[in-house]
Amino acid sequence: IAPKNFTIHGLWPDKEGTLLQYCKPKPTFRSMQDQMLDDLDKNWIQLKYTQIYGRDKQPLWKHEYLKHGSCCQKVINQNTYFSLALRLKDRIDLLRTLQIHRIVPGSNYTFKEIVDAIKTVTHTDPDVKCK
């Protein structure tokens, strides 16, 4: 069955094209709860972990926040960091964008066709990798 959505990998701040990581001071990660927990569990899926373990220990979200969210902590807090990632994901419907460009699951396309389709909505070169 073809997926009905894409998940988030991360939200990575940069400064003039330089990716920022593990900024000081090291923030404290507070476990997600309530609606934010449900929204992240649906949209920022912790694929390496069972859902029960992921919701309880939150290893991916913690890792992403400590690695990347730490670099915007002077501007936004943890909750805003995750809310922003969710809002950005909602603004761009990648599955629909690919369908508009006649790229559908089950067929083969060039890397350029996929990148060009995504670029029509992101207005920047997407970081696409094949596995």
d(CA 59, CA 29): 10
**pLDDT score of 13:** 92
User: Model confidence over 73-100: pLDDT tens digits?
Assistant: 999 999 999 999 999 999 988 989 999 9
> Exactly one of 9, 63, 101, 113 is catalytic; which is it?
9
> Quick check: is 64 catalytic?
yes
3-state helix, strand, coil in the chain (%, to 5): 50, 5, 50
Are 4 and 64 in the same domain? yes
Same domain, 23 and 79: yes
Q: How many domains would you assign to the chain?
A: 2
For 1-48, the pLDDT digits (tens) are 555 778 888 999 988 889 899 999 999 999 999 999 999 999 999 999
Residue 113 a catalytic site member: no
115: containing domain? 93-130
CATH number of the structural domain spanning residue 46: 3.90.730.10
- For residue 9, indicate whether it is catalytic: yes
| Site of tokens 């912790």 | 46
Give residue 3's pLDDT: 59
Whether residue 66 is found in the same domain as residue 50: yes
